[in-house]
C-alpha cells in the first residue's frame, strides 16, 4: 500500500463491529509495526496477546511457507500427523490427556460447555446442567460463549441467552458457594481476567474452588485463551494458583498469529464420541503445523522465562509511572507480560489514543484499565522505550495549569 488508504471505502463494505482506532497497519517486524504512511509503532497489543513471537518471525515464516507448500487442509475424516504432534506437545506439558482442535477461543469455550454438559448428563445423570462463571469474565462472542461471559453489555440485543448459567463475583468464595446447586455441572473461570480489567485470581480462592469441585464431581474449567502459552511468565496461568483444571481452553498465542483454538481435557472428562462435536477447519495440517512450530520456538528461545523477567521490569516501570502521575493512575496489576495500568477515571481510550500519537500501541481492558500485552520476544530496551512513550502520553493528558 502507498499511504492512500481510504477508511470510508473500508467502512462502506465492512460491518461496524469494532470501534477502530485511526490507524491502518500494513507490515511488521519483531515488536514493531508500520502503518500505510510508513510510520513505525512499538506494538504492545500483539493482536491482543496473540502474536507471541512478534511479527514476521523468520523461523515461523519458514514454517508457514513449508507447511503451505506441503498440505493446507484435509478433512478430519482422516488422520492428520501435524494434529497429533501438536496434541502430544500440549499433553506432555499440561494437565490434559486429550485435545480437541478448533479455530478460536470462543469455539474452544463452546466445546468446553458442550463437553461439561455431556459429562453431567451421562455420568452424573443431571437433566438440566448448570455452569457457574464469574462476573466481569469474557469467554467469546458465540451464543454459548457470550452467555458464559459475565458482562451484561455483551448480552444486550441477543436474548434469549442459553439457559443454565449463573454469575458470581470473581474471587468471592462465599458467593460461589451460595450459587452451587445439585445441578452444578461445571465452574468456568479465567485464572486472570483479561477483558475484565487485568484482574489476577487469588490463590486461596482457586484452591478452595478446586476442593469444591473434587468433592462434588464438578468440572473445573480454566479459560486460558488470553493468558496461556507463556503470557504470564509460566507456560500456563494456572501455575500461579497452585491448582490444576479438568478442562483447559486455549487459542490466541497457540498459533503465533494463525487462527487455532484447543480444548484440553483430563481423560476422565473426555467423553466426546463421533458425532458429538466437530470442526471442519479445526486441527487442519496448516494450523497445526504452524502452531507446533510456534510452540517449539517458544521453548527453544526461552520465551516463557523472558515473559517473567520482562514482566517484572514492566510492572516496576508502570509502578513508577503510577507514582509520577497519581492524579491519573490508581495502580498496576497483572502477571508477566499481561499488565494493567488502572486509571483513576474511565479514560482508557483517551490514554490509548495519546499513546498511539507517541508511537506506542496499547489496548483498553474495560473503561478504566489500559492493558499492555507485548510479544513475548520483547527486549529490556523495548520495555524501557514503551515506558518512556507511555509517560509522554500521560504527560500530554495532564490538565493545563491555569495562570491568573
Q: Which residues are catalytic?
A: 138, 223, 252
Bridge partners (DSSP) of residue 187 are: 132, 220
Reported residue count of the chain is: 404
How far, rounded to the nearest angstrom, does the alpha carbon of residue 338 sit from its chain's CA centroid? 10
Query: DSSP letters of 290-326?
Result: HHHHHHHHHHHTTHHHHHHHHHHHHHHHHHHHHHH-T
Output the CA torsion sign for 249, 254, 255, 257: positive
Q: CB within 8 A of 22, min separation 6: which ones?
A: 7
Output the CA torsion sign for 238, 239, 240, 245: positive
Q: What's the CA gap between 87 and 253, in Å, rounded?
A: 15
DSSP code of 95? S
Q: What 3-state DSSP class applies to 89?
A: helix
DSSP code of 211? H
List strand residue ranges (DSSP E) for 64-106, in order: 98-102
Q: Which three cell numbers stand for residue 395?
A: 504527560
Amino acid at each position: 500500500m502507498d499511504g492512500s488508504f481510504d477508511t470510508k471505502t473500508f467502512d462502506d463494505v465492512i460491518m461496524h463491529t469494532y470501534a477502530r482506532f485511526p490507524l491502518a497497519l500494513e507490515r511488521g517486524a519483531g515488536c514493531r509495526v508500520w502503518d500505510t504512511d510508513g510510520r513505525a509503532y512499538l506494538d504492545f497489543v500483539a493482536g491482543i496477546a496473540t502474536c507471541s513471537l512478534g511479527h514476521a518471525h523468520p523461523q515461523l515464516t519458514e514454517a508457514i511457507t513449508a507447511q503451505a507448500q506441503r498440505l493446507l487442509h484435509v478433512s478430519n475424516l482422516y488422520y492428520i500427523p501435524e494434529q497429533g504432534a501438536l496434541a502430544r506437545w500440549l499433553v506432555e506439558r499440561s494437565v490434559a490427556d486429550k485435545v480437541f482442535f478448533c479455530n478460536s477461543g470462543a469455539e474452544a469455550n463452546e466445546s468446553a460447555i458442550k463437553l461439561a454438559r455431556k459429562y453431567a448428563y451421562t455420568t452424573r445423570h443431571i437433566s438440566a446442567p448448570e455452569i457457574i462463571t464469574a462476573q466481569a469474565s469474557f469467554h467469546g462472542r458465540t451464543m454459548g460463549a457470550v452467555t458464559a461471559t459475565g458482562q451484561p453489555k455483551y448480552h444486550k440485543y441477543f436474548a434469549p441467552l442459553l439457559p443454565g448459567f449463573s454469575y458470581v463475583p470473581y474471587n468471592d468464595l462465599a458467593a460461589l458457594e451460595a450459587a452451587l446447586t445439585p445441578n452444578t455441572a461445571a465452574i468456568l473461570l479465567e485464572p486472570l481476567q483479561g477483558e475484565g480489567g487485568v484482574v489476577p485470581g487469588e490463590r486461596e480462592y482457586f484452591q478452595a474452588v478446586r476442593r469444591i469441585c473434587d468433592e462434588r464431581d464438578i468440572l473445573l474449567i480454566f479459560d486460558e485463551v488470553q493468558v496461556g502459552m507463556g503470557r504470564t511468565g509460566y507456560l500456563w496461568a494456572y501455575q500461579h494458583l497452585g491448582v490444576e483444571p479438568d478442562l483447559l481452553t486455549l487459542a490466541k498465542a497457540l498459533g503465533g498469529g494463525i487462527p487455532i483454538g484447543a480444548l484440553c481435557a483430563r481423560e476422565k472428562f473426555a467423553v466426546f464420541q463421533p458425532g458429538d462435536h466437530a470442526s471442519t477447519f479445526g486441527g487442519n495440517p496448516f494450523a497445526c503445523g504452524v502452531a507446533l512450530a510456534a510452540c517449539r520456538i517458544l521453548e527453544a528461545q526461552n520465551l516463557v522465562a523472558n515473559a517473567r523477567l520482562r514482566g517484572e521490569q514492566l510492572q516496576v516501570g508502570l509502578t513508577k509511572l503510577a507514582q509520577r502521575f497519581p492524579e491519573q493512575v490508581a495502580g498496576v496489576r497483572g502477571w508477566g507480560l499481561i499488565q494493567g495500568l488502572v486509571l483513576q477515571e474511565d479514560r482508557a481510550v483517551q490514554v490509548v489514543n495519546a499513546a498511539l500519537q507517541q508511537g506506542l500501541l496499547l489496548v483498553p481492558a474495560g473503561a478504566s484499565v489500559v492493558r499492555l500485552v507485548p510479544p513475548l520476544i520483547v527486549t529490556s530496551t523495548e520495555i524501557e522505550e514503551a515506558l518512556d512513550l507511555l509517560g509522554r502520553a500521560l504527560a500530554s493528558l495532564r490538565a493545563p495549569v491555569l495562570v491568573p
